[in-house]
Chains A and B, each alone.
Chain A
Amino acid sequence: MLVDSYKIEEILPCLADPEKIRVIASLSDDASEVMPYINSIIKNAIYIKSANAITIPQGEKLITIHPRKIAITRVDDEKEAKKILDEMLKLINDTYEKRNDIEPNYERREKPKVMDIYKLLPQNNCRKCGELTCLAFAVKITEGKASILRCSKLFQAEFSRKRAQILELLQKAGFEIPSAFR
């Protein structure tokens, strides 16, 4: 067994849906080790290695496992949250038991290619983002180490179409785009 138990720490209103709640539970033990295995068996999971987190969409709900906590959105009530958390605990522990038979997957699905992002950048190497070239910036973006907001030219009016394309590309790949720019 990898994680012994969970404890519900917080029940908050769900910002995405006022009728629902979001729930945050802490985990008694660190679940990091099992994440690449879960990523392998759950085909629609979004694993972000740099963030050490895996998000599992379940219907309209999003369940995110962090090293020592689980966050769930759009939950009906505490009872439903407990049911999901029990399932997640079982998923974590069952996957952990079977890990020798599973090929771990460390990749984020639909990871955007550096060149796909680069193609949509202004390519003027203005260095305002702090990188020497737009290509270096594209690499940082795919690694999740820089925010697309740092490309000042992309946020000028004349780049609005390319901006929309790049934001869509990143969002599909599970990158966190600030909601104000989604």
Chain B
Amino acid sequence: MKVTRHIYLDYNATTPLCSEVANVLDRCNRLIFANPSSPYEIAKKTRLEIEKARDQVAKLINCDKNEIYFTSGGTESNNLAIKGYLDYLRNLLYKQSIMARNKRANLHLITSQIEHLSILNVFRYIEKNYKDNYQCMVSYLPVDGSGFVDKGEFRSAIGKDTVLISIMLANNEIGSIQPIEELVKIAKSLNENIIFHCDAVQGLGKMEIDVKKLGVDLLSLSSHKIHGPKGVGALYVRNGVKLFPILHGGHQEKGLRPGTENVCSIIAFGYACEIVRKNLKRNIDIMAKLKEFLKEKLIEELSGMVDLRINSPDKKCLPNTLNVCFNGVDSELLISYLSREGIYVSSGSACTSGLIEPSHVLLAMGIEPELAKNAIRFSLGVENTERDLEEVVKKIKEIIVKNKLN
């Protein structure tokens, strides 16, 4: 059977370029080629366009444009924030130690168990490799059954050695939105020198983000989650916060991110931010309604034939993300059957060894390992319709019955 219609429900993985952004990208690719670092007139045009994009990104998260540094995406922003700050701090401590003759210090870092791999694996790397006089030790905070960091646990984890905290704004798999504003207040009230980083990649375009309100020092963003091009993102660095670069080279991005700028993608990312800013409230409404519709349909149509467990929290959740376990239904097989029908969803769990690896997020929430293998993540976009979602639920039902997956 040839699939004639595609229904994409994996917007947390990536989003398609929107037509305005595609036009901008196309125009840039044809017309703007000069290296922004070059001294002549046509290079100035490139520089101005990049600065305009910086302003567009800054406006979306309410910061000053000189606090935005363009990177290659969320992963690089996360690496730069964490390693960049620790390298700066360890260097500073080393310089001070020469004067003070105090050559050892433990640096305590805090993150959560449900972070994206581009955070967890950076911390794992640091734990294993930053082992000199300034050894880094990491606490991975647990979450409750709905995927929220416990404020009490958070408070008690902070000690006199704590130097850096990284907690995500919204979780990519289940959509839980962490109380960053309160966590920052707690952290800074205990020790005002703690640097707070927030991975906001999954929140952008799906909720309001105001760095002043959040109070964070560092915040990571990615373009391709908001209908912009892939391979570009940004790191917000609050004025006054110092980082070392993790790449070394020229003076681009004030030396923090050397390398000739990804000019066209940066400009397109800027436009994508502007479009998000204009439509944010409307988009949130549309996505939230669609999600509610999908949730009701799933319960209505499937609860008699399969045990459903909704893993996404009811409140304080991204408006587009619904993570569901179909108890006893192998998610990898269900995804494969759905994809043959032109329906694209994700399991939210990675398969690395042939055994389906249950998602670390669901395990951290206390979901049994076996049940965690039955999770499906629906992540919606404004382009989806109720008709699409009705069709998806109908197909899931058909597939489960036909293949006796339950």
**Residue in contact with A146 in the complex, picked from B120, B137, B141, B368, CB distance below 8 Å:** B368
**Contact present for A178 and B366 (CB under 8 Å):** no
Given contacts A9-B333, A9-B336, A181-B360, contact A63 B354 (CB under 8 A): yes
**Residue in contact with B355 in the complex, picked from A128, A129, A176, CB distance below 8 Å:** A176
**Contact present for B364 and A149 (CB under 8 Å):** yes
**Residue in contact with B142 in the complex, picked from A12, A15, A66, A152, CB distance below 8 Å:** A152
**Contact present for A176 and B141 (CB under 8 Å):** no
Q: How large is the interface on A (under 10, 10 to 19, 20 to 34, 35 or more residues)?
A: 35 or more
**Residue in contact with B127 in the complex, picked from A26, A160, A176, CB distance below 8 Å:** A160
Shortest C-beta distance, B137 to chain A (Å), equals 4
**Contact present for B137 and A157 (CB under 8 Å):** yes
**Contact present for A180 and B124 (CB under 8 Å):** yes
Of B127, B352, B364, most A-chain CB atoms within 10 Å: B352
| Interface assignment of B24: CB less than 8 Å from any CB of chain A | no
**Contact present for B336 and A24 (CB under 8 Å):** yes
Contact string, A138-151, partner B, CB cutoff 8 A, digits 1/0?
00000011110110
* Minimal Cβ-Cβ distance residue in A for B368: A145
**Contact present for B353 and A160 (CB under 8 Å):** no
Residues of A within 8 Å of B115, CB to CB, are 180
Residues of B within 8 Å of A158, CB to CB, are 137
Residues of A within 8 Å of B333, CB to CB, are 9, 24, 26, 69
| Interface assignment of B18: CB less than 8 Å from any CB of chain A | no
Residues of A within 8 Å of B382, CB to CB, are none
Residues of A within 8 Å of B336, CB to CB, are 9-10, 24
**Contact present for A156 and B352 (CB under 8 Å):** no
Chain A residues with CB under 8 Å of chain B are 9-10, 12, 15-16, 22, 24, 26, 50-51, 53, 55, 62-64, 66, 69, 71-73, 128-130, 144-147, 149-150, 152, 155-158, 160, 176, 178-181
- The 21 listed contacts between A and B (C-beta, < 8 Å) are A9-B333, A12-B351, A16-B352, A16-B353, A22-B351, A53-B355, A62-B354, A66-B330, A69-B330, A73-B353, A128-B142, A149-B113, A149-B142, A152-B141, A155-B139, A155-B141, A157-B138, A157-B139, A178-B360, A180-B124, A181-B120
- Give 16 A-B pairs besides A50-B370, A179-B352, A181-B124 with Cβ atoms closer than 8 angstroms: A9-B333, A15-B350, A26-B333, A51-B355, A62-B355, A66-B330, A128-B142, A130-B366, A145-B368, A149-B360, A149-B364, A150-B364, A156-B157, A176-B355, A178-B357, A180-B124
